[in-house]
Amino acid sequence: MLELTQVEIYYGKVRALKGVSLRVPEKSIVALLGANGAGKSTALKSISGLIHPASGSIRFCGEAIDRDSPERIVRRGISHVPEGRDIFPYLTVSENLAMGAFTRPKSEACETVQRVFGHFPILHRRRKQMAGTLSGGEQQMLAIGRALMARPKLILMDEPSLGLAPIVVHQIFEIILEINRAGTTILLIEQNAHMALQIALHGYVLETGKVTIEGGATELLGNQYVRHTYLGMKV
Amino acid sequence: MLIHVVISGIATGCIYSLMALGLTLIYKATEHVNFAQGDMAMLSGFVAFTFFEWLKLPLPLVFCLTLLFSIGLGLAMEFLLVKPAIRGPHFNVFIITLGASIVLQSASGLIWSHDQFPFPSLFPDKNLVLGPVQTDAGSVGIIATTLVLMLILFLFFKYTKVGTSLRAVSQSHRAALLMGVSVRRSFALAWAISGLVSGIAAFLIAPVVFLSTQMGLVVINGFAAAIMGGWGSFPGAVIGGISLGVLENVAPYYFPPQIKGIIPFAVLVGVLVIRPTGIMGEKRQRRV
Amino acid sequence: MRRITAFHWSIVTAACLAMFLLSPLVLSRYLVFILNLLAIYALVSIGLNFVTGYTGQISVGHAGFLALGAYFTAIVATKAPYLPFYVILPMAGCFAGLIGFLLGIPILRLRGFYIAMATLAFGVVISQIALEWRGLTHGDEGFKVTSAFIGSFVFDSDKKLFYLVQPFAIVLILAAHNIVSTRVGRAFVAVRDSENVAQTLGINLSWSKTSAFALSAFYAGFAGGLFAYVVSHITPDSFSLTISIDFIAMIVIGGMGSILGSIIGAVILTGIQQLLGSLPEIQMLIFGVSLIIFMIFMPRGISGVISSLATATRAGKRLSSEQEAGEKGA
């Protein structure tokens, strides 16, 4: 469904992504792993249009999207849940969700909101509260819910577990699985490699801007180098 | 007698509030400061004057045409001045608007001269008696117009999709982009609305102080009002504006008359030194 | 290729300096007056650069410090006529600097925009006081300044004033150059580039910002004193908001954060002023348009363009190296 081919991205003179190629098959969950500064967020930003690649191509459902504006890309069906959640702190939960449906027809929003509240009942309880007053876990749920409002075919998630308590992380990952089962493809960046590989189908490891290892999730879980470097296990 | 003074003070304050609202709007949506806000009103005033005096068009038509012009002016300024400098520090845009202020003033001086011109008021020139209070139709008209405009703006921002998207843009550009909102269009819209507000302000200011190229200096009162009320806050802009207007009108009764000119500046420095967040204060913390 | 050494440069500089200092012998009185005015504006411009160019705090009220220095000088010269100018001028500078310091303490802890507004208000309040406090300043009638003197020699003509103004200007410019080359100057730049990082480097933020502000006020005040002697009759409208904006235009066009930039800016603006003096409207229009155009296309000003060209030429002479250093991202 999503295909990056030899994508090169520069921040000024610094080469952040060096010929990165990856594929996300439809209806799957793909994990993108790597240390800080490896280029994971950059890869996501290039997909959602926040940055444009210097060379290489990004194709979504067969069409090239590497020159599209973020607006166009949302309309094509890709939603991006950015790192740090980035919810609108002075809008209510409902208004945040409404913003998620910005590109969708008005009539649809009602039904989608119900679905989102179905995934996240707590958001329904807090729907009139200012989003900035929610806890970290609730904000993460809001961010994901907001992305769902656009009825995307593909969701990009940047470190959903960051800064959250383990119980909450578990909840979030359950919901990610739910969303995937309902038919949405997911590309997931995670530092918590263990959890990510539990739910993902495929995985890619990025190191200093290059893909160094790729394969099925179970393969990666068994890979010595991955176990040592990213899963914190003694070899 | 004092009530009469307070009411004119409120009316003057409403004008300051309008200036402050225009400034706050652009600041909240784009994080830029528009020093030329007052001069936009001045130019709109001169355009209205041209329609009225030279083309002899009826006042209601002049009003509508001028507002169209003001909106266009806001859009033009955003396109010519802000868009090219958008990648630089905010300081740059502030200086650019400083330059725009100078350009607008001198261009207007060249076209219409620096003389003062009488300007027709939207409201009849008569005194009103409301119960025990004696005031004039002009002041009441200004207050009423401002209230209506504020109500419309409030409804727009709170309940419309576009208005909410502007609020969203002011809180996070990145998140707004990811929702499919065009931040570019939002900027243009903010400037367009600000232009509209300054156009309306022109019709309220010019009849009172006479139309002249120096009319734009009212922006400084607008800044003082916005800072006093709490920079970055819409209710603050209104509260600050009205307080400043009342203060200015009442002070000459208790202090030497020269003080009137200094008041906005003294208030500005005073507020910044004592309580920079003003009355309503901006809630955002600085992220390190 | 013949190498141009430092020795060559110093000969050229000395020659230029000599020509400059002897110029009153050949130039008209009017042109000498212009050169005096230029020196004064260059000093204010350099001062403003300490605050804005180097420390990144914007001051829209520097005409206020100019006014403080000018009126201080005028008043003291009248009330204490036995004091020579070389005592009064530094006092004027210190007076302005002190006010700058006191103003800076509460104001500089605020964000940039607030500082701009506060300094704007300050500048206007000073010019209003100059206008209204007639007893002290003679209001809009203006204040006639007693001429400077050494012993029985009186500086009562523009050509004589040249030799009062320029030596001070040269000394102050060299001092400014020294300041920005030292630790103090580098601290200023660090503050501008990132206040947070500067703090982690152990730079005392408020001390840096306040001393930059006080220093710039000193320069403007000193220049104000010189201004008082040069125009010999000061009125409040020489210190209006418009003048403060002119100073900003100088550092924007000339280049912020650069002494050379301040001087270039002063030259260009004074030049425009004199060329278009009879057409004040067109002059203002050109100022405004220049401000906009420079901010959009050349935000680092003319001196910025010059230094970019210099760097590009030097870089072109070096071999280019592999650029794989420093990965950024994710």
Tens digits of residue pLDDT in C205-217:
677 788 889 999 9
A74 touches chain C (CB under 8 A): no
Q: Would you tell me which residues 289-328 of chain C have a C-beta closer than 8 angstroms to some C-beta of chain A? A: 323-324, 326-328
Nearest chain A Cα distance for residue C100, angstroms: 39
What are the structure tokens assigned to B16, written together? 């300051």
Q: What ipTM score was computed for the predicted complex, to two decimals?
A: 0.87
The residue assigned the tokens 């190229």 is B213
Nearest in space to A4 (alpha carbons), one of A18, A17, A16, A22: A22
Using a CB-CB distance cutoff of 8 angstroms, which residues of chain B are in contact with residue C125? 262, 265-266, 269
Using a CB-CB distance cutoff of 8 angstroms, which residues of chain A are in contact with residue B175? 82, 86-88
Chain B residue closest in CA terms to C194: B288
Q: Do B178 and A82 touch (CB under 8 A)?
A: yes
Using a CB-CB distance cutoff of 8 angstroms, which residues of chain C are in contact with residue A11? 328-329
The residue assigned the tokens 């003197």 is C149
Using a CB-CB distance cutoff of 8 angstroms, which residues of chain B are in contact with residue C124? 220, 265
Residue B107 lies in a domain: yes
pLDDT at C321: 45
pLDDT-derived band at C317, boundaries 50, 70, 90? low
* CA atoms of A131 and A137, how far apart (whole Å): 12
Residue A212 lies in a domain: yes
Structural domain count of chain B: 1
Nearest neighbour of A103 by CB, restricted to B171, B174, B180? B180
Q: What CATH number does the domain containing A139 carry?
A: 3.40.50.300
B253 touches chain C (CB under 8 A): no
Nearest chain C Cα distance for residue B278, angstroms: 12
CA A57 → CA A14, B54, C55, distances in Å? 19, 60, 43
Helix (H, G, I), strand (E, B) or coil at C128: helix
Averaged confidence pLDDT in chain B: 88
What are the structure tokens assigned to B54, written together? 């030279």
Q: Do B265 and C121 touch (CB under 8 A)?
A: yes
- Asked whether the beta carbons of C214 and C97 are under 8 A apart, the reply is yes
- Asked whether the beta carbons of C224 and C87 are under 8 A apart, the reply is no
pLDDT at B195: 95
C330 touches chain A (CB under 8 A): yes
* CA atoms of A87 and C134, how far apart (whole Å): 58
Chain A residue closest in CA terms to B177: A70
What are the structure tokens assigned to A31, written together? 């994990």
Using a CB-CB distance cutoff of 8 angstroms, which residues of chain A are in contact with residue C327? 14-16, 37, 39, 208-209
Q: Do C282 and B227 touch (CB under 8 A)?
A: no
Structural domain count of chain A: 1
Q: Would you tell me which residues 92-151 of chain B have a C-beta closer than 8 angstroms to some C-beta of chain C? A: 92-96, 98-107, 109-110
Chain C residue closest in CA terms to A82: C330
- Asked whether the beta carbons of A7 and A58 are under 8 A apart, the reply is yes
What are the structure tokens assigned to B53, written together? 């005096």
Residue B17 lies in a domain: yes
pLDDT at A186: 93
Nearest chain C Cα distance for residue B107, angstroms: 7
pLDDT-derived band at C324, boundaries 50, 70, 90? very low
Using a CB-CB distance cutoff of 8 angstroms, which residues of chain A are in contact with residue B161? 98, 102, 106
Residue B33 lies in a domain: yes
Using a CB-CB distance cutoff of 8 angstroms, which residues of chain B are in contact with residue C289? 99, 103
pLDDT at C256: 82
pLDDT at C180: 80
Chain C residue closest in CA terms to B262: C125
Instruction: Tell me the average pLDDT across A163-182.
Output: 88
The residue that leads in pLDDT, C278 or B43, is B43
B270 touches chain C (CB under 8 A): no
* CA atoms of B270 and C122, how far apart (whole Å): 10
Asked if pLDDT for residue B283 goes beyond 60, the answer is no
* CA atoms of B160 and B154, how far apart (whole Å): 10
Nearest neighbour of C122 by CB, restricted to B95, B231, B269? B269
Residue B280 lies in a domain: no
Instruction: Tell me the average pLDDT across C127-155.
Output: 82
Nearest chain A Cα distance for residue B177, angstroms: 6
pLDDT at C196: 62
B155 touches chain C (CB under 8 A): no
Chain C residue closest in CA terms to A35: C330
Nearest in space to C265 (alpha carbons), one of C302, C296, C300, C298: C302
pLDDT at B77: 94
Q: What percent of chain B has pLDDT over 70?
A: 97
Residue A234 lies in a domain: no
pLDDT-derived band at C320, boundaries 50, 70, 90? very low
CA C307 → CA B63, C40, C251, distances in Å? 52, 25, 15
Instruction: Write down which chains contact chain C via at least 3 CB pairs under 8 A.
Output: A, B
Chain C residue closest in CA terms to A43: C330
| Strands A14-24 and A154-158, bridge-based pairing | unpaired
Instruction: Tell me the average pLDDT across C35-39.
Output: 92
The β-bridge partners of B77 are none
Nearest neighbour of B88 by CB, restricted to C118, C284, C299? C299
Nearest neighbour of B103 by CB, restricted to C58, C60, C288? C288
Q: Do B262 and C128 touch (CB under 8 A)?
A: yes
A37 touches chain C (CB under 8 A): yes
Residue B113 lies in a domain: yes
Nearest neighbour of B179 by CB, restricted to A89, A100, A106? A100
Asked if pLDDT for residue B286 goes beyond 50, the answer is no
A41 touches chain B (CB under 8 A): no
Asked if pLDDT for residue C164 goes beyond 80, the answer is yes
Nearest chain B Cα distance for residue C289, angstroms: 6
Question: How many of the other CB atoms lie within 10 Å of CB of C283?
Answer: 18
Q: Do A50 and B177 touch (CB under 8 A)?
A: yes
Using a CB-CB distance cutoff of 8 angstroms, which residues of chain B are in contact with residue A95? 164, 167-168
Nearest in space to C225 (alpha carbons), one of C301, C184, C267, C172: C172
A59 touches chain B (CB under 8 A): no
Residue B235 lies in a domain: no
What are the helix (H) ranges across chain B? 2-30, 37-49, 59-77, 90-112, 137-159, 161-171, 173-178, 183-209, 218-229, 234-250, 259-274
Q: Do A88 and B182 touch (CB under 8 A)?
A: no
Q: Each residue of B160-182: b (16+ CB within 10 Å) or e?
A: eeebbbbbbbbbbbbbbbbbbbb
Instruction: Write down which chains contact chain A via at least 3 CB pairs under 8 A.
Output: B, C
The β-bridge partners of C143 are C234
Condensed to tens digits (0 to 9), the pLDDT of residues A79-130 reads 999 988 899 999 999 999 999 999 988 888 888 999 899 888 989 999 899 9
The residue that leads in pLDDT, A65 or A191, is A65
Instruction: Tell me the average pLDDT across B177-203.
Output: 93
Residue B145 lies in a domain: yes
pLDDT winner (highest mean) among B37-51, C73-87, C128-142: B37-51
Q: Do C330 and A14 touch (CB under 8 A)?
A: no
pLDDT at B44: 95
Nearest neighbour of A88 by CB, restricted to B168, B182, B283? B168
What are the helix (H) ranges across chain C? 6-22, 29-48, 62-79, 85-107, 112-132, 134-137, 158-181, 183-193, 195-200, 205-231, 241-254, 259-275, 280-297, 301-317
- The boundaries of the domain holding residue B171 are 2-214
Nearest chain B Cα distance for residue A184, angstroms: 17
Amino acid at C218: F
- The boundaries of the domain holding residue A44 are 2-229
Chain B residue closest in CA terms to C124: B265
Q: Do A39 and C329 touch (CB under 8 A)?
A: yes
Averaged confidence pLDDT in chain A: 88
Instruction: Tell me the average pLDDT across B217-238.
Output: 89
Nearest chain A Cα distance for residue C298, angstroms: 19
